[in-house]
Structure 1
Amino acid sequence: SYEETLMILELMPYRACYPLLKLVYSAAANASYNMGSNETNLIISKAEVNEGISVKKFKPRARGRGYPIKRTT
């Protein structure tokens, strides 16, 4: 449920919990504003995370060439 998710995300020590907490708050606010439902009645059925953007850099190599590095975030 919504309240359990907030309690779990606030107590977990991971760095990714804060953006997820903001996402859950925003989803609850949108649901209460758009559909007129109460926040305590919300149920989170699915959370999906895809790849982030990749940072593209060039590593200097021999004879003035560059080697591309793609670091995923």
Structure 2
Amino acid sequence: MRSDTRVRNTRRAAAGAEWSKISTVPTDVAVIILFALAGFLLGGTYTTWKTARPLSIALAVCAVLAAAGALAWWLG
């Protein structure tokens, strides 16, 4: 009975390891995507600065958050 439990646990662990390989995004890709998002948001900030200041400020805040998230993910 003990060996049967051990076999089931081993299969479960192997299935969990396989699932984690499939479902995770490489860290470098996520960091690049977040930096690209920050760049697009900064571009929108620059574009809307003269016509819609509140929107421009909101875009700048989102850009800073995206860049900070990318740095935290990269260093963490």
Q: Structure 1-normalised TM-score?
A: 0.37
State the structure with more CA Rg.
2
Higher strand share: 1
Higher helix share: 2
Q: Structure 2-normalised TM-score?
A: 0.36
Bigger relative CO (Cα 8 Å, ≥ 6 apart): 2
